[in-house]
Structure 1
Amino acid sequence: MVKYDIAMRTLVITMKALSIVPLTISAMTDMPTRTINTIWDRAIERGFDPLWRPLVITDAYIAGTSRSGRPKKQTPKLEATVLAKVRRDRYGREKTCADIAGELSNISAMTV
């Protein structure tokens, strides 16, 4: 999914508020009509009034929302632990990522 920046979403809302049909907006912006309608619906849900004059579009109407996802395993505490294992002595620097991951047992070598 392509994430459109605030300027593009503002343009879409402005064009749609001026009664330009989504197919025309799609041709002008190369954005799918479904995305145009989603941006419009979100702005309306957040309080945008297309009939209000002068037309007022605030960041609150078009701002992106936080996305859910898998939490990061790399916390500052874990990073400090890994660095301490490497910096501890000469042998710490000779360890592979797999060795350090094996010692910590809760992360993969790729995360290290």
Structure 2
Amino acid sequence: SDTAARGAILALKATTDLSSTEIAALLHGVSARQVNRVYSRAIKAGFDPAARPLQISDALVADRPKSGSPEEE
């Protein structure tokens, strides 16, 4: 799932020296640009890649609301 891939991106970026391109090659259907976007968005949301154990919350990897979509009530 997209959520699982985002979690894997955060874990790999935080714990390895792999490049975004190398991480994208490991994960099916993910581009290096997506790796960078997911990681930078998580950092802005408070993700600390140096923390051990890693703290990867649902909020860091959840889908963002789609623009133009009505909010569910």
Query: What TM-score do you get using the length of structure 1 for normalisation?
Result: 0.55
Choose between structure 1 and 2 for higher RCO, CA contacts under 8 A separated by at least 6 residues. 2
- Work out which of the two has the higher radius of gyration on C-alpha atoms and give 1 or 2: 1
* Structure 1 residue ranges, 4+ long, deviating more than 6 angstroms after superposition: none
Aligned to 1:51: 50
Query: Compared with structure 1, are the counterparts of its residues 67 and 17 closer, same or farther at alpha carbon in structure 2 (3 Å cutoff)?
Result: same
Structure 2: stretches of 5+ with no match in the other structure: none
1:15 aligns with 2:12: yes
Query: What TM-score do you get using the length of structure 2 for normalisation?
Result: 0.82
| Two-structure CA RMSD over aligned residues (Å) | 1.5
Identical pairs, percent: 38
Structure 1: stretches of 5+ with no match in the other structure: 72-112
Separation in 2, partners of 1:41, 1:58: 15
Alpha-carbon deviations, 1:49-88, whole Å to 9, x = none?
00011111001111111111266xxxxxxxxxxxxxxxxx
